[in-house]
Amino acid sequence: MSSLNAAERLGYWVAGNPLIIIAAAVLLTIVSLHYAQFIEMQGMNTESMVGKDSPLYQLYDHLYVEKFGTESIAIIVEAGDVTKPEILKSMLVLSDKMKEAPDVIGVNSIADIVADGQASQTGVREIPTQEKVNEILSSPDSQPAVSGMMPDQSHTMLSIEMPVTLTEKQLSELYTETKAQVKMASFPPDTVVTVTGHPALMMSITSEMATSNGPILGLAGLLMVVALVLTFRQVKWCLLPIPIVFLGIIWTFGAMGYLKIPFTMVSMSAFPVLVGIGIDYAIQFHNRIDEEFTKGTPPVQAVVETISHVSVPVMIALIITAMGFVSLLTSSVPMTRDFGLLCLIGLFLCYLSALFVGVTILFAAEKRSSRRKAKADETSIDAPQETSIGLGLEKIAEICLQKWQAVLVIALLLSVLGIYADTQVQVDTDFKNYIPQDLAPLIDFRHMSDIFGGTDSIKLLIQTNDVTDPKTLEWMDEFSGYLEESRDQIYGATSIATYVKQANGGSIPQDQTTARSLIDNLPEVVRNRYLDGHDTAIIDLNVGQMVSRLGAEGTDRLIKEIDKDIAWRTPPADVSVRETGDPVVMTTVITALTTGRTEMTLLGLILIFGLLL
């Protein structure tokens, strides 16, 4: 035994300890199934797209989200006339119930405007007669809010505000509670009520990811069955590589939960990749040990020969393949790094499954079989017949060897064409195009966008010693007006200065005491949305659906143009203005993905080339 190399000693150990290997595989599978329950489903959120140590994340999460970040569940109400008292009464019941729900910051609706207006006049918060409703909704004080919630007499929206920081579980519970309260509000029969909004859509995407992963893996397995039956049927137990590779996939799921690798739209695509690559490892071991059995080699020796001759070459192939995925770890996008890490872990676990479990099962089956293959001296007689596919591949190999110059020229030409074609690939920044277009929540979301306009917005984060300084408020108001007039892509700009100007009769007050008094008298929901203390505020730039229409390059140009506008129309000396919000984050991420893919590809090729040397 001392003269044996490491691979041969491993072969003897595998042949001598089948029960230990199977027991270890079963134990590892149980542990993996346990940790797989802790996999976090993650949609298109900031953490999956931007590194937590990046300045972009610090600005977006710690300065914008923590201070101002909210999102809304939107309830669309459609009827012949949504201002009818019976409809408003149902809306008010729904609003009051949802205000009591956990994690709800506030609820906005025309029913609340009417009830609050009635309470200010009579002291009773209720829905009055139709004439009184019309009077309250048409009053100058109510018009700015009403116009945003009710674009026409047939449509209105009830908006439930909540923090952006809610977990998937909290969001799911709130969404479920909303749908239940809608049913209990007893809207009139001729009223159509739809629960939608960005949170509802993201929940649907997460749910779709969870439900579609099983069918994807099932389809991959079915295709592998077809491929193995067509190309691998000459061996005994030709379908065994499929459960072997899926065992490695189960272990990968366990590692995913243990290492807290989130399940994203990118990482879920790792599993079909692992099935395609990992099954090759199982086939390599299976084919070699079957050849040994066919030659009449004793089971123990067959295991030793298989592991000593196959384990190292397959490991080398695994390492070379892994170098391509290592390059993904250099990406600035977390979900791309997670994909690379998941593939690395999965490849290694599929290799272990093929090496130990696959070989052990075939060894145990052969050892228990009463039939034996022909003896070694009859090998030439019982040599397996060539299949049509094998003969075809041999013919192609001969042609390639004879015409090697032409093959190289064609390969180089295709490489050049591929590099050029890569520059022509269109980048789609609208995540809504990544999911099935017939998904009901997506249809509802687009219906809302058609009625009320798009919901995309760019935020300008304002920081200074005192935002309530009249000079700062005046600059915010003037700059907002300038952007609305000069940029066709910006439909509106709203800030705390907008409400101060409105409360002061159409002008910014020139003394700070008056400005602060007006701000203190504003509704709390307005102050919380646009102001944090006295040192931080935001300007909300409504760009409708322009992010989807402009694409990555157009949105990037718009963001850069706004930066130029800030530099051109300089704010007061002590005021800092920076852009943030979802469009800014998404554009930065898409830029990182598109500009970094060439570097990652070249790095992968260099790593592989260096390893081969």
Does 191 share its domain with 209?
no
- Residue 570 included in any domain: yes
Q: Which residue has the higher pLDDT, 200 or 403?
A: 403
The whole-number average pLDDT for the span 379-394 is 62
Position 479 scores a pLDDT of 93
Residues paired with 532 in a beta bridge: 536
Instruction: Please tell me the predicted confidence (pLDDT) of residue 391.
Output: 79
Q: Which helix (H) or strand (E) holds 574?
A: none
Indicate the SS3 state at residue 156: strand
User: What pLDDT shows up at residue 77?
Assistant: 94
| pLDDT above 50: residue 381 | no
In a domain, 345, yes or no: yes
What number of other Cβ atoms are within 10 A of residue 314's Cβ? 19
Residue pair 534/464 in contact by the 8 Å Cβ criterion: no
In a domain, 607, yes or no: no
Residue 171's CATH number: 3.30.70
**376 plus 228 within the same structural domain:** yes
Q: What pLDDT is stored for residue 356 in this prediction? A: 95
List residues bridging with 194 in a β-sheet: 76
Name the domain boundary from 338, 362, 385. 385
Q: Are residues 180 and 265 in the same domain?
A: no
Task: Report pLDDT for 59.
Answer: 67
In a domain, 94, yes or no: yes
Tens digit of each residue's pLDDT (9 = 90 or more) over 483-530: 988 888 888 888 999 989 888 888 899 888 898 998 888 877 788 888
- Tell me the two tokens of residue 598: 């060439």
Q: Percent of the chain, pLDDT > 90?
A: 33
- Name the residue range of residue 279's domain: 6-37+203-385
- The CATH number of residue 326's host domain is 1.20.1640.10
Residue-wise pLDDT for 114-165, tens only, equals 999 999 888 889 999 999 999 999 887 777 678 778 888 999 999 898 887 7
Query: Does residue 564 lie within any of the structural domains?
Result: yes
- Name the one residue in this structure whose structure tokens are 């159509």: 192
What is the mean pLDDT of the segment spanning 445-453? 79
In this structure, the answer to whether residues 231 and 319 fall within a common structural domain is yes
526: in domain: yes
Query: In which band, very low, low, confident or very high, does the pLDDT at 374 lie, cut at 50, 70 and 90?
Result: very low
In this prediction, residue 54 has a pLDDT band, given cuts at 50, 70 and 90, of: low
Among residues 328, 331, 339, 549, the alpha carbon closest in space to that of 429 is found at 549
State whether 180 and 224 are in the same domain.
no
Task: Give the predicted TM-score (pTM) of the model.
Answer: 0.68
pLDDT above 80: residue 613? no
Q: Is the pLDDT of residue 87 over 90?
A: yes
- Which one of 196, 219, 251 terminates a domain? 196
Does 408 have pLDDT greater than 80?
yes
**Residue 581: CB partners within 8 Å, gap ≥ 6?**
60, 64, 457, 458, 459
What pLDDT does 591 receive? 67
Task: Write the secondary structure of 431-477 as one string of H (helix), E (strand) and C (coil).
Answer: HHHHCCCCCHHHHHHHHHHHHHCCCEEEEEEEECCCCCCHHHHHHHH
459, 494 Cβ separation under 8 angstroms:
no
Has residue 397 been placed in a domain?
Answer: no
The predicted model gives 308-322 an average pLDDT of: 91
Residues 289 and 146 in one domain: no
**Do 349 and 265 belong together in one domain?**
yes
Q: Which pLDDT belongs to residue 345?
A: 95
207 and 190 share one domain? no
Q: Between helices 299-326 and 359-368, what is the axis angle to 10°?
A: 160
Domain match, 120 and 162 both: yes
Question: Are 225 and 340 contained in the same domain?
Answer: yes
Q: Which comes out higher in pLDDT, residue 277 or 607?
A: 277
Do residues 189 and 221 share a domain?
Answer: no
Name, in order, each residue with C-beta under 8 angstroms of 526's C-beta and a sequence gap of 6 or more: 496, 499
Residue 611 resides in a domain: no
Domain count, the chain: 3
Q: Are residues 209 and 320 in the same domain?
A: yes
Q: Which of 178, 196, 214 is the last residue of a domain?
A: 196
